[in-house]
């Protein structure tokens, strides 16, 4: 921490977590709805940065970037998500936690809730629950990374930042 920098109050840290969590959740839900309404009906991909980045509708009934092909136990997933959120909150409350850890926790919570929302409230019309994925990063040698969404990106960034803050370094100044 810098000499002139104040330690943030617990209320401000929790507000930071809530704002980042709510913002990542809102952005995720809004972008998924936009993709559902705009890209799904046409089947057209939007090229954002040729040939590297495209927006293209994909409906993922599995999890973990499509590595698990089908997820038939949404209630179990909800319980695991609740446990994860409880652990994240407990981790954020631990000594030495600062802005970066609370921001990371907000990203993880917002991302987890965004994908959980899809599992419970989105249906492909055939009774299959799933998650809307739409961001596709293409490799220069061909092929692409599995499609993902804003919630997935928030989860990955949040987990990386959270792991960084848990390496034994206080992040009060971050």
The per-residue pLDDT for range 110-158, each reduced to its tens digit, is 999 999 999 889 988 888 888 999 999 999 888 888 899 999 999 999 9
Which residue among 118, 123, 124, 133 is the active-site one?
133
Is omega for the bond preceding 51 within 30 degrees of 0, making it cis? yes
- Where are the strands (E) in 5-156, listed by range? 46-49, 53-60, 131-137
Mean pLDDT of 161-173: 72
53 inside domain: yes
- Name the CA radius of gyration of the chain, rounded: 18
Coil, strand or helix at 131: strand
4 inside domain: no
Top-confidence residue, 130 or 69: 130
6 inside domain: no
Mean pLDDT of 31-57: 94
Which residue among 28, 118, 152, 171 is the active-site one?
152
The per-residue pLDDT for 173 is 45
173 inside domain: no
The model's confidence at residue 40, banded by pLDDT at 50, 70 and 90, is very high
39 inside domain: yes
Task: Give which of 157, 147, 127, 149 is closest to 29, Cα–Cα.
Answer: 149
How buried is residue 164: exposed, middle or buried, by Cβ count under 10 Å (0-12/13-18/19+)? middle
Q: Which domain holds residue 95?
A: 12-165
- The verdict on whether 133 is a catalytic residue reads yes
Q: In the chain, how many domains are there?
A: 1
Mean pLDDT of 12-34: 97
What average pLDDT is seen over the chain?
Answer: 86
User: pTM for the full model?
Assistant: 0.85
Query: Are β-strands 53-60 and 131-137 bridged in parallel, bridged antiparallel, or unpaired?
Result: antiparallel
170 inside domain: no
Rounded to whole angstroms, the maximal C-alpha distance in the chain is 60
- The verdict on whether 152 is a catalytic residue reads yes
156 inside domain: yes
7 inside domain: no
Q: How far apart are CA 97 and CA 167, in angstroms?
A: 11
Q: How far apart are CA 106 and CA 62, in angstroms?
A: 24
């Amino acid at each position: 921490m810098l000499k002139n920098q104040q330690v943030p109050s617990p209320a401000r840290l929790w507000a930071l977590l809530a704002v980042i969590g709510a913002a990542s959740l809102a952005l995720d839900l809004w972008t998924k709805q936009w993709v559902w309404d705009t890209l799904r009906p046409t089947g057209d991909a939007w090229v954002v940065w040729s040939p590297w980045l495209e927006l293209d509708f994909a409906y993922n009934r599995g999890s973990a970037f499509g590595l698990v092909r089908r997820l038939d136990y949404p209630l179990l997933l909800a319980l695991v998500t609740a446990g994860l959120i409880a652990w994240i909150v407990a981790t954020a409350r631990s000594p030495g936690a600062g802005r970066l850890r609370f921001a990371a926790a907000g990203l993880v919570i917002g991302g987890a809730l965004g994908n959980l929302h899809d599992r419970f409230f989105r249906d492909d019309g055939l009774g299959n629950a799933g998650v809307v994925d739409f961001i596709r990063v293409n490799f220069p040698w061909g092929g692409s990374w599995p499609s993902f969404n804003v919630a997935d990106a928030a989860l990955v960034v949040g987990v990386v930042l959270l792991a960084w803050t848990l390496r034994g370094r206080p992040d009060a100044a971050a």
